[in-house]
């Protein structure tokens, strides 16, 4: 009987504990500071359910919200004027977010800042099961160089970041192949070397001998002629012209590149996938490999593509393209929103109809976000220059 009573007591205690837990909204209390917080900052935090909790002192405020992934979560004020609250579980990987304080949209003062969504703002990193491939490890590290240049075409100063692999300084006679890697819309050249972790991904791949040591050039995809068109007219992008006539010659002069098409690849994400597909198809004498991460040049259409007219018929002769293009690579997250699945799907159908060889990769359980693109770079880079 004693045993039975003890068991009942334990059972009741467990139920009460569980009920107390449920009353808290079933939020697991194993939060840890986000790995992209500013030095010494305790918030925001992430728990094992992938919820984001943040906290900010705002004693006179009447309404404070965490705004992440287009959803707003109300924070709750305590007696000291500190507002705290958490989001629903998020996808693994990196997300942009902001706070709303009495109607003002501002960065969370706890995080490092990242350029995306057309602004410098807060970011959060939800640890991913496969995060080792982009982790900072004790392997030889390449350098990421900020390279400022004047563009005559745009009549402006521009900037690219250049990754040179570990050993570039030591092996002073070695020449390297080059990957040109582009960001998406409302992002800039800081995306790939920061939240994209392109340098760490390549450091790890090269150290494991899974990728060939290569230079990566990361420029800004927004480039316009000065005062082009009529007042108020949408400016015409000249990024292709800047890349072909200014950036590539500068890189081939300044860095020890192997300056031929076989040793030059191009890739981009979203808007950058669209741009770089046009660029390679217009310049097959310059590039031999293409990577499209969450994008293709038929965006935003999901309609059937007519290869006779699409991109001026550039995909019409599949057999010729198979000889010219060494790697044609497409990647997409399984949770990407419309129109990406339809648009990339229509493009793949066209490739298949034309008999064009390509690699297709799906990033499991990620949307139109950076974990999709980190994984895409990780896969794509392993196939290049081999």
The residues that touch a copy of itself, with contacts defined as CB under 8 A, are 38-40, 56-64, 81, 99, 101-107, 109, 112-113, 118-121, 136, 138, 141, 143-150, 157, 162, 169-170, 172, 188, 193, 199, 253-256
Least separation, in Å, of the C-beta of 103 and a copy of itself?
A: 4
CB of 69 or CB of 107, closer to a copy of itself: 107
Say how far residue 380 (Cα) sits from the centre of its chain. 14
CB of 182 or CB of 297, closer to a copy of itself: 182
Least separation, in Å, of the C-beta of 298 and a copy of itself?
A: 28
Least separation, in Å, of the C-beta of 302 and a copy of itself?
A: 31
355 contact partners, CB below 8 Å, separation of at least 6? 318, 319, 322
Least separation, in Å, of the C-beta of 249 and a copy of itself?
A: 14
- Length of the chain equals 386
Which residues is 362 bridged to in the sheet? 332
Burial class (CB in 10 A: 0-12, 13-18, 19+), 160: buried
CB of 256 or CB of 335, closer to a copy of itself: 256
Query: What is d(CA 117, CA 325) in angstroms, rounded to the nearest whole number?
Result: 33
Least separation, in Å, of the C-beta of 286 and a copy of itself?
A: 21
Number of Cβ atoms within 10 Å of the Cβ of 109: 14
CB of 144 or CB of 238, closer to a copy of itself: 144
CB of 163 or CB of 340, closer to a copy of itself: 163
Say how far residue 64 (Cα) sits from the centre of its chain. 28
Least separation, in Å, of the C-beta of 219 and a copy of itself?
A: 15
CB of 83 or CB of 329, closer to a copy of itself: 83
Cβ atoms of 96 and 123 within 8 Å: the answer is yes
Q: Count Cβ neighbours within 10 Å for each residue of 207-232 and write b for 16 or more, e otherwise.
A: beeebbbbbbbbbbbbbbeeeeeeee
112 contact partners, CB below 8 Å, separation of at least 6? 36, 37, 38, 123
């Amino acid at each position: 009987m004693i045993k039975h009573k003890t068991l009942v007591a334990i059972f009741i205690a467990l139920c009460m504990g569980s009920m107390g837990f449920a009353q808290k909204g079933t939020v697991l209390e194993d939060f840890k500071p986000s790995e992209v917080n500013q030095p010494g900052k305790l918030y925001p935090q992430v728990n094992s359910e992938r919820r984001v909790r943040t906290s900010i002192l705002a004693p006179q405020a009447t309404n404070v919200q965490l705004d992440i992934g287009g959803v707003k979560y109300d924070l709750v004020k305590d007696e000291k004027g500190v507002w705290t609250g958490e989001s629903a579980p998020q996808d693994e990987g990196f997300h942009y977010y902001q706070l709303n304080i009495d109607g003002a949209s501002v960065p969370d003062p706890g995080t490092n800042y990242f350029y995306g969504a057309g602004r410098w703002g807060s970011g959060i990193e939800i640890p991913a099961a496969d995060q080792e491939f982009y982790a900072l490890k004790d392997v030889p590290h390449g350098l990421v160089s900020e390279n400022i240049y004047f563009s005559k075409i745009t009549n402006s100063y521009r900037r690219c970041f250049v990754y040179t692999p570990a050993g570039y300084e030591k092996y002073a006679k070695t020449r390297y192949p080059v990957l040109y890697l582009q960001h998406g819309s409302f992002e800039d050249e800081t995306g790939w070397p920061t939240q994209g972790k392109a340098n760490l991904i390549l450091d790890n791949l090269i150290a494991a001998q899974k990728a060939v040591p290569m230079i990566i050039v990361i420029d800004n995809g927004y480039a316009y002629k000065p005062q082009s068109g009529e007042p108020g007219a949408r400016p015409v992008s000249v990024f292709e012209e800047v890349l072909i006539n200014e950036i590539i010659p500068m890189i081939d002069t300044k860095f020890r590149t192997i300056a031929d098409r076989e040793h030059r690849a191009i890739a981009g994400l979203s808007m950058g996938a669209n741009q770089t597909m046009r660029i390679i198809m217009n310049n097959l004498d310059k590039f031999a490999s293409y990577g499209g991460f969450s994008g293709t040049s038929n965006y935003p259409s999901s309609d059937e593509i007519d290869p006779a007219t699409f991109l001026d018929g550039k995909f019409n002769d599949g057999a010729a393209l198979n000889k010219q293009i060494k790697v044609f690579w497409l990647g997409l997250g399984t949770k990407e929103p419309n129109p990406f699945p339809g648009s990339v799907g229509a493009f793949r159908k066209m490739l298949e109809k034309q008999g064009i060889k390509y690699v297709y990769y799906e990033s499991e359980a990620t949307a139109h976000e950076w974990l999709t693109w980190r994984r895409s770079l990780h896969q794509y880079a392993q196939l290049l220059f081999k």
